[in-house]
Each structure stands twice: as structure tokens, then as C-alpha cells.
Amino acid sequence: MMRLMTWHGGDEFTLDQVADPVAEPGRVVVKVDTVGVCGSDVHITQGLFPSTPPKVLGHEGSGVIVEVGEGVDEGRIGDRVVMNTTSHCGECSACTTWSESRCENADLTSGMFAQYATAPSQSAVKIPDGLELELAALTEPASCCLSGAEMMDVADASVGVVIGGGIMGLFTLAFLKRRGVEKMIMSEPVIARREMAKQFGADLLHDPSDGDLGDFIKDHNGGHGADIAAEAVGIPALVAKCIEVVRPRGQVLMIGVVPEGTPLPVDLYDMHYREITVKGAFGRGSVFARTPAEIGELNLDGVITGRYTLEDVAVAIVDSGEGKGVKLVIKPNG
């Protein structure tokens, strides 16, 4: 029997025991090592992100393959993997015109706040030998940021800014910097997160309590706005701030997830007049499989700031929602 945490709506969870999973054809069973607590887990329990209970949450998991189903190479047993939440066919309209993460024929990986998870073999991506299993659990959020960063035109981009120094903001900053943005600014009120941005490539740090972000950018960019601004919190007013602080023909990237039904609180005339581009980036795009190698080249020291047992999933979700630390994780078999 394995243990798992079931969400029943709101902040109600139960620790349950169910039969050990069996690998069905084309699938693998993974012993879960680490699962990240995502902002969407927080939003689901707060009723701000659509999801239907009862359900096993958790979608940022790493572990080791312990069983394979019919049609899967038995040599995969023992592989250290990170689990994508969906598979992709590569042939449907979504795969060919949008992204693999929106595949119309996707098969799902099971919820990962559990001792074991089952996944399509394709979705259990082997990680580089030099990447720790615990850090590999950062692949899912990192892939969302990498996909978003690759939507941006960085040619001749001299200044970029990210609002929000949580894990999504840190990865977004890192990938924009690695893609060629000359100078990256992190705007974040929490000093520990702001300082951590340095190891992800931040050139300048802005404390919102010290003054206006727009003025700060202009002071460090010859009186001009940023070329690229990314919002990584999920607050509409901060999306509006990004639109405000970019130069004419600047680009804005929405990484943070705002509640469903939220309007954009901006002056559309101003957006039109200054010819601003706003792009939404939601999900893993088509980059998940190559993300472990990408994060393996980053300095991830100290990024995981809290480790919780399976029994403490509810506590971890509350702590994450309150912004405690940078990245909190669950250790289902710890």
C-alpha cells in the first residue's frame, strides 16, 4: 500500500492509503523523490485556479523508475527522471501550431503528492547524471519560464526587468540573461529573494520600497524604459506596471498566473500609442525535455528553502502562499 495526499476542496486534505500502482502498457511507475509546491497548488486551494476535487495535486516531481509496462524498455528501470504532466503526439493541431504541452491527445501523469506516480514513458524524462534528483524537481517551473523567455525577441535588447523574485521570476531572469539581454533588473521586496537573483544573473536589484521602478530603470538606462519587462507574481497591477515601464515598442511577458476572469487594468490608448506587445506564457511549451540540461548549468545553491513530509502538504501550501522562502518541496518518501 502507498500513501498519498488527497485534496477535497478548500484547505481540506486527507492522508490516504491505496494499492501500489501498476505500470500499464506504455507507462512507467516512478518512486517519487521530490515534488515542488507550485503557485497553482496554492491558487487551487484558494479557489483562484480551476480544479475539481477530490484530486491528488502535485505536478513538479522527480524520482526513479521502478517498474515499466508492456512496450517500454526494461532498461528504463533505475532511470533518474523528472515527470512531465502530459505526453504529446506531435501530430495534432495543438502540437503543430501551438505547443506540445497543449496536445489534444495527451495522456496524463498521476498526481505527485504521493509515494509513487505513474506516467507515460515519454513523460518520464531522464535527467543529466550531474543533476541532483531534488533539484531536477525544478524542471517543470523552469520549463514554463524557458518557454516564455524564448517567446521574446531579444535582438538588441539592452535592458530587461523581472517583477517578482520567486522561483518563476528567478528562472525567467536567468533565461532572458542567457538568451542575450545585456542588463537584467530584479524588482522584489523580500531581501533574501532579491539577493538570490544575483546568482541567476541579475545585474541590478530594485527594492520597491525604495522608489518607483520606472524611475529606477530610467536612471540606469539613459532615461529610457526597459526593452523587456516580465511579471512573475500574478498580480494584475504588476502586469500594468510592466506595461508602464517598457519603452515604446517594448515587450511585456506574463509569467505569473492571475485569477480566471481578471481584466487587464491598463490604458489601452497608451498601449496602442506606444505600440506595446504583451505576451502570455502559460505552461511548458515544447521545451520540457531539454530543460533539465538548462537548469543544470545554473547556480541553484540554496534555492530550495523548505522541505516537508507528505503529511505536511497542507502546511507547505499555506507557507508557499505566504511567500516563505524561495522554493518549498515535498519529500513523499522522506
pLDDT band at 323 (very low <50, low <70, confident <90, very high): confident
What does the pLDDT read at residue 325?
86
97 shares a domain with 158: no
What does the pLDDT read at residue 28?
98
Long-range pairs for 87-94 at CB < 8 Å and ≥24 separation?
87/120, 87/122, 87/123, 88/122, 88/286
134 shares a domain with 12: yes
CATH code of the domain containing 203: 3.40.50.720
- The tally of domains found in the chain comes to 2
290 shares a domain with 246: no
303 shares a domain with 211: no
- Span 49-75, average pLDDT: 96
115 shares a domain with 20: yes
| Distance of alpha carbon 224 from alpha carbon 237, whole angstroms | 21
| Distance of alpha carbon 144 from alpha carbon 291, whole angstroms | 9
Residue pLDDT, tens place only, 179-208: 999 999 999 999 999 999 999 999 999 999
| Distance of alpha carbon 164 from alpha carbon 229, whole angstroms | 11
241 shares a domain with 228: yes
186 shares a domain with 93: no
Which residues, 6 or more positions from 186, have their beta carbon under 8 angstroms from its beta carbon?
A: 161, 162, 165, 169, 173, 194, 197, 202, 204, 205, 206
What does the pLDDT read at residue 154?
97
User: Which structural domain range is residue 223 located in?
Assistant: 152-280
273 shares a domain with 288: no
pLDDT band at 50 (very low <50, low <70, confident <90, very high): confident
314 shares a domain with 230: no
What does the pLDDT read at residue 209?
97
pLDDT band at 47 (very low <50, low <70, confident <90, very high): confident
What does the pLDDT read at residue 74?
97
Q: Per the confidence metrics, is the pTM higher than 0.75?
A: yes
How does the average pLDDT of the chain come out, rounded?
Answer: 96
Q: Is residue 123 over pLDDT 90?
A: yes
184 shares a domain with 106: no
43 shares a domain with 112: yes
Which secondary-structure segment (H or E) carries 280?
strand 277-280
Q: Is residue 169 over pLDDT 90?
A: yes
